[in-house]
Structure 1
């Protein structure tokens, strides 16, 4: 059988029918929105089954302040190097419960990327071996990628946030 996005989608939805909340495909990349509490078991299956998504390309955060139930999210890009197939997984959570299981025990490369996501978005990774600020000043006191901070100096008259899509 050909290793297509439909094949991967069917394999995941068959194994975890209640875990997949939304499915889309943009620019040829399959995107699955997964329940936060089921994310780790889905990723573990994708890595250790015949799907062979054994390379974690990226972990990053996202902030949607206009959606309180899905205000913060974590996006994972997995890659099957043999079939050269990529999959994007997303999980969302309210800001007051911004925590998801770490993937450092599945992918060693998740360590730095999860720390960066924590640093910039404040999302905690439960079970992470050393979750701390790495790129910002530890005394900063806030997470700079959240969309609640001005992008430009408020005293400047020649620029404003609308130039940056806000």
Structure 2
């Protein structure tokens, strides 16, 4: 199974769903419309492509892009042919919500909960969307890039030691 074969199958089945595609390091990566992600992944799982294993779900935050500020990334794997691929979808922060995959993959449960906890992305239809790693009353999503990486008020640090 090749990247070209899978891309052609997806674009034939869902001609308006694929926004862009690339192959970084020969790894097929598709950007799919948010409302079509579940349909595309369901097709990949149940079609002759047999991409049945959900390796990972994670979030990403691009604070400088208001229309694509938050994203969800899915890594999928066909264990028989060792074919791997990545699906990305993006959304504005105000409407950070996407359909759950827990009815397709039982393993999506905790991955979606982790993504919700760290990025604030809600998964519609998730059976138990709550905090699992941080304190329940934390009040923020720790992986959002809302804070400076360094404390600009520190006086005990000499930047020359860090090559600046």
TM-score (norm 2): 0.93
Q: Deviations over 1:33-84 (max 9, x none)?
A: 0000000000000000001110000000000011100000000000000110
Give the match for residue 18 of structure 1.
16
Alignment of 1:114-133 (within 5 A): 114-133=112-131
Residues 10 and 132 of structure 1: is their aligned pair in 2 closer, same or farther, counting only changes over 3 Å?
Answer: same
Q: Deviations over 1:124-159 (max 9, x none)?
A: 000000000111111110001000123345553438
Count matched residues. Answer: 159
Question: Unpaired segments of 5 or more residues in structure 2?
Answer: none
1:54/1:80 contact within 8 Å kept = yes
Give the match for residue 28 of structure 1.
26
Tell me the SS of whatever aligns to 1:43.
helix
Q: In the aligned structure 2, how far is the partner of 1:103 from the partner of 1:151?
A: 33
Residues 101 and 159 of structure 1: is their aligned pair in 2 closer, same or farther, counting only changes over 3 Å?
Answer: farther
Question: Unpaired segments of 5 or more residues in structure 1?
Answer: none
Q: In the aligned structure 1, how far is the partner of 2:106 from the partner of 2:65?
A: 32
1:152/1:159 contact within 8 Å kept = no
Task: Select the structure of larger CA radius of gyration.
Answer: 2
Q: In the aligned structure 1, how far is the partner of 2:128 from the partner of 2:120?
A: 14
1:75/1:91 contact within 8 Å kept = yes
Tell me the SS of whatever aligns to 1:130.
coil
What is the root-mean-square deviation in Å for CA atoms of aligned residues?
A: 1.5
